[in-house]
Amino acid sequence: MEIEIIYTVIPLFAIVFFLYKIILSYKLINKKLPPSPPSLPILGHLHLLKPPFHRALEALSKRYGPIFSLQLGFQPVLVVTSPQGAEECFTQNDVVFANRPKLIVGEYLGYNHSLLIWTPYGDHWRNLRRVAATTMLSLRRINEAGPTRKAEIRNLISELLQYSKSSDGGGTQKVNLNATFAKVARNFVMRVVNGKTWEKMIITSPANLMTICDFLPILKWVGFKGIVKNLKEMKKKRDGFLQSLVDECRERRKEKLSVGHLTLVEQLLDMQEADPEYYTDEVLKGMIVVMLLAGSETTARTLEWAMSNLLNHPEVLAKAKAEIDLNVGKERLVDDSDLPKLKYLHCIINETLRLFPPAPLLVPHCASRDCTIGGFHVKKGTMLLVNAWALQRDPSLWHDEPTTFKPERFENEKEGYKFMPFGLGRRACPGNNLALRNVALTVATLIQCFDWELTEDGLVDLNEKHGHGAIIIPKDKPLEAICHPRSSMKDVLDQC
């Protein structure tokens, strides 16, 4: 955080901070507040946060309890790491925490907090949620995207077959699965969004959802570390790409060209024609970017962690392969309709999401009014962080070796409020069914069609990448493996 620099640019913050604390203490004198670590003037508890944040917050929860508070600069934060606390937040207080905090990432990359993920709870959010469901995320739309999934799965198989052929001469051609998964995940989404493949990842998510400028606003005004400048540049690049997708689809419509199915952009343009004042290009681009990033990055990361764990546990891989052979056979590729029968496969995916949730702290919530959680007073404006990563590894909740990859635990496990990889309540991820379908079909195909082995002795490194904050956490080292087509699937693979 470079504390010395901060002190030089905010000499008056100390006075304001102490006045703020005095007023706050007076107002809350008769309230029972959550436990909190000792804090520093101005900074509060910022000095305690070291990435990855979910691990830092887990360490604090072991000392201060499953519900505790932090003061990050001028932003009060409630941290919850218990199923009881999570249930209180997302049931009786679900409306209270249905808002999002006003983070600068949402300001610059979220079209001034107007995206589905960032917009305040209310009519606009409800409409965006409805649009997301009807255009792309409903069960009907997910089923309609089946041919697109099948086409991309065949492309994936063809690519992996090329790797295996290059190793037939005695070599051991490695497959960079990170790159492979990123490609297939973004193409799953882009072909539904705009009817074409996404050859290059032109837009990406920022490494950190929250920055120090969110907690010490004066740093935003003085251009600290170029944080705002970088976000503005990212916004400009994103906006140009998104506008090109909209304009390209407009041109196709004018020329009455078709990509073979109704795309998300086409549906949004239909809505724009019906109500141009509401469905501006900015609203359309906001819907598109949420689908592209949320739909591709979470899928790619989950595939990465799932295959890493399968390579480290060959007995699990063998059991999953036997299940697929029994329920699907070796005369055709696994299909969407087969997935409900593959119970153990779903256990594997759930166990992956338990140990490596896509968003370890979920997406931050914000209290719209005062409330009580766990008997503690929580004031309006408090940011809520639910440490799903720590909760899903808690030994008191997951008794059988909680940090070990054991898919069998989900054969009889009642999930409840101790398993929440996609969040809970009103602001839970609306795309979880699409993500699970894409992940399940991809993993099933990789297991059915190929034999896998590690590139070297030992296990796949499961360390997280350093420097990443409260959003999707990638592996530190790219996942590489060696694949060989299964001899029993030769006839099927020859047709790919």
- Give the separation between CA 297 and CA 312, rounded to whole angstroms: 23
pLDDT at residue 167, as a whole number? 57
Type of residue found at 95? V
Task: Check: CB of residue 304 under 8 Å from CB of residue 477.
Answer: no
Residue 2 has pLDDT above 50, yes or no: no
Max Cα–Cα distance, the chain, nearest Å: 77
pLDDT, tens digit, for every residue of 127-184?
A: 999 999 999 999 999 999 999 999 999 999 999 998 877 655 555 678 999 999 999 9
Q: Which helix (H) or strand (E) holds 101?
A: none
Task: Check: CB of residue 380 under 8 Å from CB of residue 72.
Answer: no
The confidence band for 23, taking pLDDT boundaries of 50, 70 and 90, is low
pLDDT, tens digit, for every residue of 403-454?
A: 999 999 999 877 779 999 999 999 999 999 999 999 999 999 999 999 999 9
The domain spans of the chain are: 3-493
What 3-state DSSP class applies to 373?
Answer: strand
Residue range 3-493, CATH number = 1.10.630.10
| Integer Rg of the chain from CA | 24
pTM over 0.85: yes
